[in-house]
Amino acid sequence: METQEAALSVTGVRASVGPRPGSAAVPAAPGPQPRPAGQSAGDRGRAQGVAPFSCGRPTLEHPASPLAGVCAEDTAPGPGPVTPEHCPPAGRTMLREQYIDKTRVAVFGKDYGGYLSTYILPAKGEDQGPVFACGAAVSPITDFKLYASAFSERYLGLHGLDNRAYEMTKVAHRVSALGEQQFLIIHATADEKVHFQHTAELISQLISGKANYSLQIYPDESHYFHSAPLQQHLHRAVISFFVECFRAQDQPPAAAAREDEEED
């Protein structure tokens, strides 16, 4: 049976999850997703060969999917945002599907989804190997004391009185566990919702942890990328990143390649 690449797309909205075959790994964010004229989302996904699974975003095309509810209702009763503990079950369930190539699984998100993606990217599987080959985050939240207090204080309490929750939710202690996984960070320098300081601090932590990362910035652009050409550029960058990441899995490790050469 032919296997298929998959990208686990995460957001901060509680809903069900399910496979979305034939669509591209584009930002899981509210609002319409632009695409080239005359090309459907399915055409674009088939051309790239990337099929995302959405964690925390409603997927109505497959209500009977075995993934439905794994990341949301079944693991997080009651109101509230999806947390890092809710998405690994979706990933593990996805990996049990026989049509998924376990060497080509990635994670992606924006805003709070970017926080979740960054947080779970170092996750290990049952064999202690990385679950995700790579990950991408757009405007990721990295420290909730820098984020909107109306959101942060609702779930983490008033900063300054008890900072333990804020310290525990930082991604600093997670990114230090990143190995050779590829990690793409995208951020607009004039982002008014998730300030660029989040990414600046994340980069400092990645450098300290000797992590493998790439940074793409959009100078003087706001959080929402109102320009259609900019949105298309963003989507192409993310899709190209995943395509290259999945293609790299076809390359044999350097040691194995040397052994093959010696045998010849």
Structure-token pair, residue 235 = 């989507």
> Which domains are assigned to the chain?
4-263 (3.40.50.1820)
d(CA 232, CA 12): 23
**φ, ψ for residue 55 (rounded to 5)?**
-105, 110
Per-residue model confidence (pLDDT) at position 180 = 82
d(CA 132, CA 106): 5
Return the ∠ at Cα 152 (arms to 76 and 109), rounded to 5°: 65
Contact 52, 8 (CB under 8 A): yes
Sign of the Cα pseudo-torsion (247, 253, 257, 258, in order): positive
Per-residue model confidence (pLDDT) at position 166 = 94
Per-residue model confidence (pLDDT) at position 16 = 30
What is each CA distance from 162 to 80, 168, 169, in whole angstroms? 20, 12, 13
Structure-token pair, residue 228 = 């259609």
User: Tokens 């901060």 appear where?
Assistant: 12
Q: How buried is 95 (Cβ within 10 angstroms: 0-12 exposed, 13-18 middle, 19+ buried)?
A: middle
**φ, ψ for residue 120 (rounded to 5)?**
-95, -5
Contact 101, 5 (CB under 8 A): yes
d(CA 86, CA 106): 16
The bridge status of strand 50-55 relative to strand 182-188 is unpaired
Which residue ranges in the chain fall short of pLDDT 50? 12-36, 39-49, 56-80, 255-256
Per-residue model confidence (pLDDT) at position 152 = 93
| Concatenated DSSP letters of 23-50 | -------SSPPP--TT--HHHHHHHHTE
Contact 111, 139 (CB under 8 A): yes
Structure-token pair, residue 227 = 């320009």
Structure-token pair, residue 91 = 């990933």
Which residues in the chain belong to E strands, given as ranges?
4-10, 18-19, 50-55, 100-110, 134-138, 182-188, 213-218
**φ, ψ for residue 80 (rounded to 5)?**
135, 170
Within 13 Å of residue 234, how many CA atoms lie on the same side as its CB?
A: 29
